Structure 1
Amino acid sequence: MAVLRARLGQLVVDCADPARLARFWSSVLGGRPVVRDPAWAYVDPPGAPRLAFQRVPEEKAVKNRLHLDLAVEDVRRARAAAVRRGAVPVGGPVTDAQGTFQVMRDPEGNEFCFAESADG
């Protein structure tokens, strides 16, 4: 069987307010938020695939099956900066042999993590 070769073009997040999430994520990842229409917005973070947001009628009900892990130099500083932008921490930072991570929720409750490597 031939191998399917696909390229990741974008990650799409279902949400209630695409423009709000595009603004939030552009403030975290960089790039300019683009609101195509009330039901679709996106941000093109430097060096990363597009992160797009599409309006859906249902609310988020359970934990994400897929989340973003964002590499940062200092988890605690990243946490504080994200909270100022509307994110909510889930518990406190966790440290293990691999480093430190902090679970967060964006303004609509979508989980993501800040991760700081043990080796810097």
Structure 2
Amino acid sequence: MSVRLAKALGCRVKGMDILPEFIEYAGIKAIEYSVDTLCTFEVSDINKAVLIEKGYDVVIFGAVGDVLGTSEEALRKLKGTVKAGGYILIDGTYGDTLCNDGYATREQWLSFISNAGMLLLKKSL
């Protein structure tokens, strides 16, 4: 997602993942999309990164499950990485209330967002 954003918007991006293979793949994609000068990727533990990374315009939380704790804990931690007026893009899943499979429900996510003092701008289903 970050490589495509760099291509579409001409913005600088910094990507982090704990898996070196994902970082290597992202670097290859950045070259393929001719945005390697805009992209920086590093192997990093997101739990440490949320403590030191600050002031971003946009943070993408992409399909990483509960690595930052519960969904509500993750939102609170990510909120600290964006500047005032910044955005958090969440690529995740919520569970069906009729078949709870361990994922927070849509209603729970809306509550988590509200409890964190955040606003939902757009949802995609």
Tell me the TM-score range normalised by the shorter chain.
0.3 to 0.5
Q: Which one has the bigger helix percentage? A: 2
| TM-score (ref. length: structure 1) | 0.34
Q: Which one has the bigger strand percentage? A: 1
Greater relative CO (CA pairs within 8 A, separation 6+): 1
| TM-score (ref. length: structure 2) | 0.33
